[in-house]
A and B are shown apart, each in its own frame.
Chain A
């Protein structure tokens, strides 16, 4: 199998891996002729199923594989990939290819920097990246910038990966969820994130201290945030502890309309859809108690999910009352007519 591509949009790719790295250690990357998929399924917490169009990150994309549709399945560790991409931020160009060295499959990220276009201190000195194999094939001593206008610096970052066979990924499917009760377009994710983080901090500050001195081994569960929304453009975030009870309400948000072409059953499907029934209840100012779909989520996990806000884009949240929350993040595509990339987050809810 062969894969080679130039990276067109290094900053978008870096931001994407930055937001994914906090959610899981490894990602299942599926490459084929038409799209690139990133999937993260951690032991505990939110699942991410991202589908990106090739043009949003790559250019000059070549792929070849024995599997139909030229599909390649890889298991990629996110932390090394993210660090490698971070070192490419100041580069003139970067490309990525799949190769094998000493029988170990690798993804090699080749970064080309022209010193005349800027001092590439981020590529030459990479702080704590001791884990990466760091090959500097500089054709020029990197100290001599003043006379090296034509010379360039080429760095290869190697990320060890595992190739997954088609059979092993057969069984992995997106989580199946019932039709959502409420779908709403979220406000700016960064505003939402800063308020959620402050709520989480508040809950930790005012929580009574645990009596046992043993610190949790694996993930310690954070405080439970309660999120509700209704079909009239209201979103409510609240948290309750012994010392206080705080809630924030956003009003005036939009509820996207269901597209009859997509919903099963067409027009009738829309009529019977739970969200249409929810629209009958509730008011635009969020005053009444009816018409709210509520989920309870872990505060820290939610903060990590919201870090995807750095990519921009619209976010539609679908609430399944007391069951789960699904976020669809649509990344804007610079080209006209290109397919939109979608990142889907599945967050499960705690019962009260």
Chain B
């Protein structure tokens, strides 16, 4: 080829340099932004695609619910606080999920998982059964699941993090060369956790928990049972004989101290004068009292006791709430006119935000509870229930 035409082309080209659409200096920024956008959109699409799950056929009153949580551990801690019974009732609403457990109608515990605890929370209300009713008036029917099964399932999560007990014996060198072991890519080091997905398709469908981690995905379908038809223990918020807020660890310590004599009954004394707030436990082996003083300013944050009152409860029931006492930061202790005790615990959640777990206890009826055998002190719900109908009931 002759070089002169090429040389002419070359020199002619110097006059009009090539300008790309995206200039040289901006290419990285634009490229990175597009890539990031692409990744985010793919992720959102991937999550949402599987959560929204409307049945295709016209099944009346069908609903769909899906929640994705980045921290199954948080759910586990909250649910473990109320795991004193075999079955838990689940109520799903647009605001969140409420788990309730009750023990022979004398004790109940509720844990409310707010929608903001989850990374995504998708709730599709049920199709109204009749055209005349408004769309939001039909709540999702509640159902029951086995709570121990749910807790065990959530514990599978993070099981890959657990170090085998033999690795501590070997030297660091041998653990790296051991087949299959590679601590540099350990989940703890990378800081990645898996995904936990809860979903429920409507009455008759199981409650699904799906846990995904590196390499393993676990799906658990919990059978749902008919919801119990009992009512909540009534609590009259307007007629309180005691209202106080204190730090939960102190209540936990107090209960732990009192349980050393294995008591059967816990009595709460509250009065506007000394002793302001005292817990005493009595049993066959002895008795003990823990008194909280109001004079120390930081001990009891709020304290309101219009008149002196003494209420007795079964100690074993109150002690079942001790897991909540151990993890919560604050507790609000309230007793109403009937003697129903309400303990509301505030737990701090990772990443800010709070969750609430509350318990209600029915007291021993006046005159009973001082009995020597534990069977004699059973509360009579009829008395509390009859009074509650005037009071207005649960919050």
**Interface positions of A (Cβ within 8 A of B):** 11, 15, 187-188, 190-191, 194-195, 198, 201-202, 205-206, 242-252, 309-310, 312-314, 332
Contacts and interface: CB of A to CB of B under 8 A. Distances in A.
A236 to B, nearest CB: 10
A309 B164 CA distance: 10
B146 A310 contact: no
14 contacts: A190-B164, A191-B160, A195-B218, A198-B156, A202-B149, A202-B152, A243-B145, A243-B149, A245-B206, A247-B218, A247-B219, A248-B217, A249-B218, A251-B215
B180 A314 contact: yes
B24 interface: no
Interface stretch (B70-78, B220-228, B339-347): B220-228
B181 interface: yes
A242 B153 CA distance: 15
Contacts of B181: 188, 312
A130 B145 CA distance: 50
A339 B51 CA distance: 53
Contacts of A191: 159-160, 216
B49 interface: no
Contact of A310 (B148, B166, B220): B166
A195 B179 contact: no
Contacts of A195: 156, 159, 216, 218
Nearest to A314: B179
Interface of B: 145-146, 148-149, 152-153, 155-156, 159-160, 162, 164, 166, 169, 178-181, 206, 215-223
B223 A248 contact: no
A205 B218 CA distance: 18
B72 to A, nearest CB: 14
B162 A15 contact: no
B223 A242 contact: yes
Given A242-B223, A312-B179, A314-B180, A198 B217 contact: no
Nearest to A192: B216
Given A191-B159, A195-B218, A249-B217, 18 more contacts: A187-B180, A190-B164, A195-B216, A198-B152, A198-B155, A206-B148, A242-B223, A243-B146, A244-B149, A244-B220, A246-B221, A247-B218, A248-B156, A249-B216, A249-B219, A251-B217, A313-B179, A314-B179
Candidate in A15, A191, A243, A250 with the most chain B CB atoms within 10 angstroms: A243
Contacts of A249: 216-219
A248 B164 contact: no
B149 A205 contact: yes
A202 B166 CA distance: 25
A202 B154 CA distance: 11
B24 to A, nearest CB: 41
A248 B216 CA distance: 7
B221 A312 contact: no
Can you list the 9 inter-chain pairs with the closest CB atoms, starting with the nearest? A246-B220, A248-B218, A243-B146, A190-B164, A244-B222, A245-B221, A202-B152, A312-B178, A310-B166
Candidate in A198, A205, A244 with the most chain B CB atoms within 10 angstroms: A244
Contacts of A248: 156, 216-219
A198 B159 contact: yes
Contacts of B159: 191, 194-195, 198
Contacts of A246: 153, 218-221
A206 B146 CA distance: 8
Nearest to A286: B217
Given A312-B178, A314-B180, A332-B179, A244 B146 contact: yes
Nearest to B146: A243
B216 A250 contact: yes
A245 B148 CA distance: 14
Contacts of A202: 149, 152-153
Nearest to A246: B220
B222 to A, nearest CB: 5
Contacts of A332: 178-179
A188 B218 CA distance: 16
A249 B210 CA distance: 11
Nearest to B211: A248
Candidate in B162, B164, B206, B222 with the most chain A CB atoms within 10 angstroms: B164
A122 B215 CA distance: 40
B169 A205 contact: no
A194 to B, nearest CB: 5
Contacts of B178: 312, 332
B260 to A, nearest CB: 30
Contact of B180 (A188, A201, A251): A188
A280 B148 CA distance: 41
Contacts of A188: 180-181
Nearest to B160: A191
Nearest to A187: B215
